[in-house]
Amino acid sequence: TYVVTENCIKCKYTDCVEVCPVDCFHEGPNMLVIDPDECIDCSLCEPECPVNAIYSEDDVPDDQYQFLEVNAELGREWPVLSEQKDPPADADEWDGVPDKLKLLER
């Protein structure tokens, strides 16, 4: 499966959903996640994210492993998003800001 990691939080550009052939992105208030039970590992979404938040589970950086669980848990709860929408107005300011997990809204 592919995994959305910390840098999506408060960036949420949603370019990723446009290319997913199986609509497995799920939307929360300030982040998207991938439902690992639905992802078919096509890899199309990874290069689409402007802030490089998406990784194959095999390539998830050591400090981002907790997002495997975040995606699995919230992918079951949040609704599907299948069409791109405008990012938050201040999205650019949050690219690369560390420790955004504490800002995740559920």
Give yes or no for a contact between 60 and 7, defined as CB atoms under 8 angstroms apart.
no
Q: Per DSSP, what are the bridge partners of residue 26?
A: 33, 80
Contacts of 90 (CB under 8 A, 6+ apart): 10
- CB closer to ligand SF4, 1 vs 30: 1
By the rule CB under 6 A, 33 interacts with ligand F3S:
no
* Options 20, 24, 39, 54; binder of ligand F3S; rule CB under 6 A: 54
- CB closer to ligand SF4, 75 vs 100: 75
* Options 33, 39, 74, 104; binder of ligand SF4; rule CB under 6 A: 39
